[in-house]
Amino acid sequence: MSRIDQFFREKMEERGFAFDPGYWEQAERLIVAREKRRRRKLLIWWFFGSLFLLTGVGLGSLFLFQHGERVAPSVEKESGIHAGERSPSMRPSADGPGAANVPTVDSPSIEPVVPSAPPVVPGIGPKAGTPGSEPARSYSPDVDTDPVLSLPARPGQPVAAVPEHSGPPSVPKQREQPAVLGNDEQFADTGSFISAPFPFTLEELSAIAIPQLDVEARPLPGGQFTAPGLAHIRPQKVLRWEAYTSGALYPGQGNKQAGWLGGLSVSYPLDERWRLHAGLQYRQRIGTFQALDISERWVYQFGVSIERYTLAPDKLHYVELPLGLLYTVHKHELSAGLSWNYLAGVQGSLWSTRKPESSLAYTPERQEESGWLEETGFRKHGFSILAAYHYSIWGKLKAGASLQYTPGGILSRAGQEPSVSQPLKESGPLLLGLGIKFGL
């Protein structure tokens, strides 16, 4: 016997109390069992916390990786002078018409083109004998001529002042031609139309034939088609994260309020309306609990007084892993699946009452302490059937109802006699829930 045990033994014998070594051995076993339960619960919480963290990191990495694969199609702005900078999909085919007349970037014969005279489209221009008509002027690159200011004035139109130029003559700026896809005739017609003198009359503008551009779709491997210069974009399947909470209702006899539920879920689309979802949720279950253990202590003084201690649970803590299917139609959402439930711990309190000497009744109970209890009388783990309905009320916010059915209930039948009362009155297999869900 240790010195501490010897000290308490002497004190108890001095006060006239019987000393039983079995009491100390039982107390030591209870202390060791309590420490084991604490370490076990700590390891369980660390395990589920690490699992949840790794799952979140993995799904988040997958989500970012899927979004990182998206490439937005770029639109290149090209000009007629820099036609060699086009993408390969926009260059004329080597076997097509006009391939021999199209220069490439590597060709050393490319030089800036300075036209000797502005191109003229046949049948377009001022008619002879009409007001404002004049003979065609010769064009010289050495003479700085403004084609807009040198146009003759029409009757009733004020004449703009022509500024006096001084200094060396300037070379007229080259007009960039837009990139055109098609054959040689279309390329020549389009260039002549853009470089023709302006302005025209309304009748002359309506008579101009604008060429139609022919763009061929090139087949890709696998029988798919895409337009030249556009990237082939595949639809991406995005994960959807949601947080939810609800209050639990018990439909049987007893307390109707049976706790609450909170969790996080992620869903993966299977097609347009079906999604596969999984999650991690925490459930706290309350109700009308019965005492798990009752002990009495008889104290002999001038009379006899009785001290009674009652150990009763208050809450059940569950960790649940649901898995199922979601079916969405407009704002309506139906879900069904299974859930694996694990009893993480039972929380309870120690109550005491006393019957004084020469008294017939006990004093009101008072709480001595609270903490974690053994899971005696409760099932440690099991499966449940889940079903839920939610309606989208505003944006990503949804409200709905849920159902959980646990075959066999939550109580452990092993080792119990029929006369033993149930530790929880609201221990039926069915629970209902009303709550909300919010998309993240």
For the cut 50, the answer to whether the pLDDT of residue 180 exceeds it is: no
> 3-state DSSP call for residue 398?
strand
Does residue 139 belong to any structural domain of this protein?
no
Pairing mode, strands 293-300 and 225-226:
unpaired
What single-letter amino acid sits at 385?
Answer: I
Give the integer Cα–Cα distance in Å for 403 and 291. 29
The pTM assigned to this predicted structure is: 0.47
- Per-residue pLDDT, 383: 92
DSSP 3-state of 9: helix
Please indicate whether residue 198 or residue 20 has the higher confidence score (pLDDT).
20
Compute the average pLDDT of residues 264-292: 90
Is the pLDDT assigned to residue 58 strictly greater than 70?
yes
Same domain, 377 and 428: yes
**Cα end-to-end span (Å), the chain:** 62
State which amino acid sits at residue 329: V
Same domain, 266 and 188: no
Whether residue 372 is contained in a domain is answered as yes
Residue ending a domain, choose from 196, 228, 260: 228
Q: Give the Cα separation of 32 and 174 in Å (integer).
A: 95
Nearest alpha-carbon partner for 423 in 372, 375, 381: 375
- How much helix, strand and coil, in percent to the nearest 5, is found in the chain? 20, 35, 50
Range scoring the smallest mean pLDDT among 28-37, 72-81, 248-257? 72-81
| CA angle, 38 then 44 then 45, to 5° | 90
Instruction: Give yes or no for a contact between 435 and 247, defined as CB atoms under 8 angstroms apart.
Output: yes
Tens of pLDDT, residue by residue over 377-416, are: 889 899 999 999 999 998 889 999 999 999 988 888 754 5
Is pLDDT larger for residue 319 or for residue 351? 319
If pLDDT is split at 50, 70 and 90, which confidence band does 311 have?
Answer: confident
- Does 51 share its domain with 189? no
Q: Give the pLDDT band of residue 251 (cuts 50, 70, 90).
A: confident
Domain-located, residue 112: no
Evaluate whether residue 142 is within a structural domain: no
Residue 144 has pLDDT above 80, yes or no: no
The pLDDT of residue 172:
55
Cα separation values, 304 from 54, 95, 358, 360, Å: 61, 116, 8, 12
Confirm whether 389 is domain-assigned.
yes
Quick check: is 246 in a domain?
yes
Question: Given this model, what pLDDT does residue 284 score?
Answer: 92
190 inside domain: yes
* Domain assignment present for 119: no
Clarify whether residues 298 and 386 are in a common domain: yes
Asked if residue 363 and residue 270 are part of one domain, the reply reads: yes
Report the SS3 class of residue 351. Answer: strand
pLDDT at 277: 92
What CA–CA distance (Å, rounded) separates 272 from 284?
A: 35
What CA–CA distance (Å, rounded) separates 305 from 434?
50
Tell which wins on pLDDT, 306 or 267: 267
Domain of 401, CATH number, reads 2.40.160
Mean pLDDT for the chain overall: 72
Q: What pLDDT does residue 320 have? A: 94
- Per-residue confidence (pLDDT) for residue 203, from 0 to 100: 65
Assess whether the previous peptide bond of 199 is cis (omega < 30° from 0). Answer: yes
Q: Is the Cα dihedral 79, 84, 86, 91 positive or negative?
A: positive
In this predicted structure, what is the pLDDT of residue 343? 93
pLDDT of 289 > 80? The answer is yes
Is it the case that residue 315 has pLDDT exceeding 60? yes
Percent of the chain with pLDDT over 70: 57
Residues 347 and 434 in one domain: yes
Do 331 and 355 share a structural domain? yes
Is 267 found in the same domain as 212?
no
What's the pLDDT at 373? 85
Of 188 and 200, the structure prediction assigns the larger pLDDT to 200
Q: How confident is the model at residue 242 (pLDDT cuts 50, 70, 90)?
A: very high
Same domain, 321 and 251: yes
- Based on the fold, state whether residues 290 and 399 are members of the same structural domain: yes
| E-strand stretches of 286-303 | 293-300
* β-strand partners of 107: none
Beta-bridge partner residues of 265: 242, 279
How does pLDDT run across 321-373, given as a tens digit for each residue? Answer: 999 999 999 889 999 999 999 999 998 888 888 888 777 788 888 888 888 88
Number of separate domains in the chain? 3
Check residue 121 and report its DSSP letter.
-
More confident residue, 158 or 245: 245
Residue 218 and residue 246 share a domain: no
For residues 216 and 328, membership in a common domain is answered with no
Residue 229 structure tokens: 């210069």
Q: Which of 328, 421, 431 is nearest to 385 (CA)?
A: 431
Name the band, by pLDDT with cuts 50, 70 and 90, for residue 84: very low
Q: Give the range of the structural domain holding residue 217, as residue numbers without chain letter.
A: 88-95+175-228
Q: For residue 412, give the amino acid letter.
A: S
**DSSP-assigned letters across all residues of 58-114:** HHHHHHHHHHHT--PPP----BSTTGGGS-GGGSPPTTSTTGGGS--TT-TT-----
Output the pLDDT for position 176: 54
